[in-house]
Amino acid sequence: MALITFLSDFGLKDHYVAAVKACILRINSGLQIVDISHEIAPCNLAQASFTLQAVFRDFPEGSVHLVAVNSSNGPDDKFLALKLEEHFFLGNDNGLWGLISKSESSHVVDINSLKPQQTSFPAKDILAPAAAKLASGTSLFDLGEQIKTYKRMLDRIARATKKQISGHVIHIDNYGNLITNIRFEDFAILSKNKSYTVTFGREYTSNIQGSYNGVDSGDTFLLFNSSGLLEIGINNGHAGHLLGLGFDSPVIIQFEE
């Protein structure tokens, strides 16, 4: 049996998370369910895609990832099961899948096509049963009719030239640290034998540390995190609040010979 991960914008105050899990376990009580997060801001696909793509590859291949973010069920909404990078994903057709992987799936089915349902709780009534069946060994193509196309949003990438990398804040974590879309591999190539200045808001620095506690309490740090992305924070402080920066704020690295 494959394990199931669960990502949603339900929060933890209400019964919604438990109801979805109950539906899965009612179909197969032996399944393992791992919570990724249920604190995604309501309908925030950017936050959901960042969170999912940052972790799904750490799970075993063949894992089933149930995503219930902005999971409405209008008359024209499709709910999909698809295979990407040897992992299975279930959720509504809202474009998120293009943000978590550059690969395009040729294994996609509409899981609400065989016995269409109109429901106010599609995560429980549509996605959960399909996830349980898929994790229990049911073929992807037995879950619904195969489709050829699905919505794919394009991920926003940093722009790089020989003299500059222009990126943006793409996520603010629970500590208030600002995570950007500037990748270490680009920085490593362009910074070779060059000095550099990183500019963010009204601040600038020419020093990227190797750890979160590489500066004194209250001071700003920059590092490339475990995902290989440039991260800006304040030791024992909330960088987003104290620096006045948020989602989509520009971050620029200027290189000099």
Mean pLDDT value of segment 129-147: 97
Calculate mean pLDDT across residues 45-55.
95
The pTM assigned to this predicted structure is: 0.90
Residue 72 has pLDDT above 80, yes or no: no
| pLDDT of 73 strictly over 70 | no
Could you say which architecture CATH assigns to the domain 4-146? 3-Layer(aba) Sandwich (3.40)
Is residue 61's pLDDT more than 90? yes
Confidence class for position 212, pLDDT limits 50, 70, 90: confident
More confident residue, 73 or 43: 43
The helix (H) or strand (E) run that includes residue 198 is strand 195-200
State the Cα–Cα distance between residues 156 and 153, nearest whole angstrom: 9
Where in the chain do CATH 3.40.50.10790 domains reside?
4-146
CATH 2.40.30.90 residue ranges in the chain?
159-256
Pick among 2.40.30.90, 2.70.70.10, 2.40.50.100, 3.40.720.10: CATH of 159-256: 2.40.30.90
Q: Is the pLDDT of residue 75 over 70?
A: no
Query: In angstroms, how far is the first alpha carbon of the chain from the final one?
Result: 55
Query: Is 90 exceeded by the pLDDT of residue 20?
Result: yes
- Report how far residue 66's alpha carbon sits from residue 133's, in angstroms, rounded to the nearest whole number: 12
Q: How many residues does the chain have?
A: 257
Percent of the chain with pLDDT over 90: 83
**Per-residue pLDDT tens for 153-201?**
888 889 999 999 999 999 999 999 999 999 999 999 999 889 999 999 9
Q: Is the dihedral of CA 133, 136, 138, 139 positive or negative?
A: positive
* pLDDT at residue 106 tops 90: no
Instruction: Determine the pLDDT at residue 112.
Output: 93
According to DSSP, the residues that pair with 82 across neighbouring strands are: 89, 108
Q: Give residue 85's region: left, alpha or beta (phi > 0; psi -120 to 50).
A: left
**Segment 108-128 mean pLDDT:** 94
Provide the mean pLDDT of the chain. Answer: 93
Q: 77: pLDDT confidence band, cut at 50, 70 and 90?
A: confident
**pLDDT digits over 10-19, tens only?**
999 999 999 9
Give the per-residue pLDDT at 155: 82
Spatial distance between the Cα atoms of 257 and 241, rounded to a whole number of angstroms: 34
Report pLDDT for 257.
73
